[in-house]
Amino acid sequence: MAQELTHFVAGKRLPGTSGRFGDVYNPNTGEVAAKVPLASVAEVDAAIADAEAAQIGWAATNPQKRARVLMKFLELVAGEMDSLAALLSSEHGKTIADAKGDIQRGLEVIEFCIAAPHLLKGEFTDSAGTGIDVYSMRQPLGVVAGITPFNFPAMIPLWKAGPALAAGNAFVLKPSERDPSVPLRLAELFLEAGLPAGVFNVINGDKEVVDALLNDDRIKAVGFVGSTPIAQYIYETAAKNGKRAQCFGGAKNHAIIMPDADLDDAADALVGAAYGSAGERCMALSVAVPVGEKTAEALREKLIERIGKLRIGTSDDPNADFGPLVGRDGVERVDRYINQGVEEGAELVVDGRGFALDGHEDGFFAGASLFDKVTTDMSIYREEIFGPVLVIARADDYEAALKLPHEHEYGNGVAIFTRDGDTARNFVNRINVGMVGVNVPIPVPIAYHTFGGWKRSGFGDLNQHGPDAFRFYTKTKTVTQRWPAGLREAATGEATDHFVIPTMS
Q: Which residues are catalytic?
A: 282
Report helix angle 96-113 to 81-92, nearest 10.
120
Residues ≥6 apart with Cβ < 8 Å to 183: 148, 153, 154, 157, 173, 175, 202
Q: How far apart are CA 296 and CA 158, in angstroms?
A: 40
Walk across the sheet containing 132-140 and list its strands.
124-129, 132-140, 474-482
Residues comprising the chain, all counted: 505
Q: How far apart are CA 145 and CA 122, in angstroms?
A: 25
The three-state (H, E, C) secondary structure of 27-96, written as one string: CCCCEEEEEEECCCHHHHHHHHHHHHHHHHHHHHCCHHHHHHHHHHHHHHHHHCHHHHHHHHHHHHCCCH
Q: How far apart are CA 224 and CA 152, in angstroms?
A: 12
Residues ≥6 apart with Cβ < 8 Å to 12: 197
Q: Strand 285-290 to strand 347-350: parallel, antiparallel, or no bridges (unpaired)? A: unpaired
Reported in sequence order, the residue ranges of 148-243 that DSSP labels E, i.e. its strands, are: 170-174, 200-202, 219-225
Phi and psi at 267, nearest 5°, equal -65, -40
Nearest to 470 by CA among 205, 184, 165, 215: 165
Do 27 and 315 meet the contact criterion of CB atoms below 8 Å apart? yes
Do 48 and 172 meet the contact criterion of CB atoms below 8 Å apart? yes
Nearest to 158 by CA among 80, 230, 223, 245: 223
